[in-house]
Amino acid sequence: MAEDKKVTRVSVAEITYEPDTSIVIIDYFDNKAISKEDAEEVISTSMQLVGDNPFGVISIFKDNLIKADAQEVLRQESPNLVAVASIVKSEILKSIFNTFVSFKKLGYKFRMFTDLEEAKQWVASEIEAFKKNS
């Protein structure tokens, strides 16, 4: 039996947790500047939704300014975080960011997408692979 999605609104985003896929979708509101406090609220709310389960995150940004201290908070690793996907508007940005991120050492998988469904498929497959290998 499929579990219902859990939807929560915070100051800068709507956060949806899909228990069947273990994916958290963070849909940032248009043109919102994201402060350190906003980022901490997003992370705290997301962690409450997932509990101790392995999970993935999809962030949808819409012309948001992410302040430097907020970027640090959003990059924090969680022991149960398996994969993060971000949705961007253009293929060029996607290619640039994916190349840049390939040089970074993160404790989770990360990719950029222009399509939400592709991002969901990728995150879900990474979670499944993680569960099989755990």
78 found inside a domain: yes
Q: Which residues span the domain enclosing 10?
A: 6-128
Q: Quote the CA–CA distance of 5 and 126 in Å, as a whole number.
A: 20
Mind listing the pLDDT tens digit for each residue in 74-96? 777 677 889 989 888 767 666 66
Residue at token pair 């947790």: 17
Average pLDDT over residues 112-127: 94
133 found inside a domain: no
Q: Quote the CA–CA distance of 127 and 80 in Å, as a whole number.
A: 10
Residue 130's pLDDT band (cuts 50, 70, 90): very high
Residue 106 reports pLDDT greater than 80: no
1 found inside a domain: no
How does the average pLDDT of the chain come out, rounded? 85
Domain count, the chain: 1
34 found inside a domain: yes
